[in-house]
Amino acid sequence: MGSSVVGRTIVRRPVWCSEDGSCMDLVFFSCFYPVGGFTLWPFICLRETREDLEGENIDEFINHEQIHIVQATEMCCIFMYLLWVFDFFKGLMCVQRRGYQSCACQCDARLSYVWNRLEQEAFDNQRDLEYLDNRPCFAWCAYPNRSVAERWINSYRSQV
């Protein structure tokens, strides 16, 4: 399993090895939308190696995932994942382009992800590499926020 050290976090690329000794990289994916990685407390799992991500802003990406680690820590891990899943499924049922609507039934996973309060905090602060030094406890309570969602959607559209 390859690894590299980023700040205080060891980033590992997961590998699966069979009994005959052959190994293959585990590429994590989502059937809803492309993901570059995810946090499974206390680990950050990346879809690519650091070298493969050369030219992208890896520091922002790692900071985004480290915000999730702090969220999980302050919510005793399991509650953070329960809240994430709750927000995601709530978003699948209740989010339209204009924001939350009662029983919108749009089933748009990308919008659900964008309106997830934990993802919004991480997205909103991923560029501020000093954010975790000054982050108030339970900062995710200030989200979801329409302006963050609109900024995120607009930044995604400009990349496509």
Burial class (CB in 10 A: 0-12, 13-18, 19+), 112: buried
Does the structure show a pLDDT above 90 at 75?
A: yes
- pLDDT of 5 > 50? The answer is no
Residues 97 and 114 sit within 8 Å (Cβ to Cβ): no
Question: Is the pLDDT at 6 greater than 50, yes or no?
Answer: no
3-class SS letters over 49-114: CCCCCCCCCHHHHHHHHHHHHHHHHHCCCHHHHHHHHHHHHHHHHHEECCEECCCCCCCCHHHHHH
Evaluate if residue 34 carries a pLDDT over 70. no
Residue 21 reports pLDDT greater than 70: no
Give the mean model confidence (pLDDT) for residues 65-72.
95
CA-based nearest residue to 115, from 81, 87, 139, 75: 87
CA dihedral (10, 13, 18, 21) in degrees, to 10, reads: -80
Residue 38 is predicted with a pLDDT of 82
Global pTM value: 0.73
Confidence (pLDDT) at 153: 86
Bond prior to 144 in cis (omega within 30° of 0) = yes
What's the chain's average pLDDT? 76
CA 115 – CA 149 distance, rounded (Å): 6
pLDDT tens-digit series, residues 90-133: 888 776 666 666 555 467 778 888 889 999 999 999 999 999 99
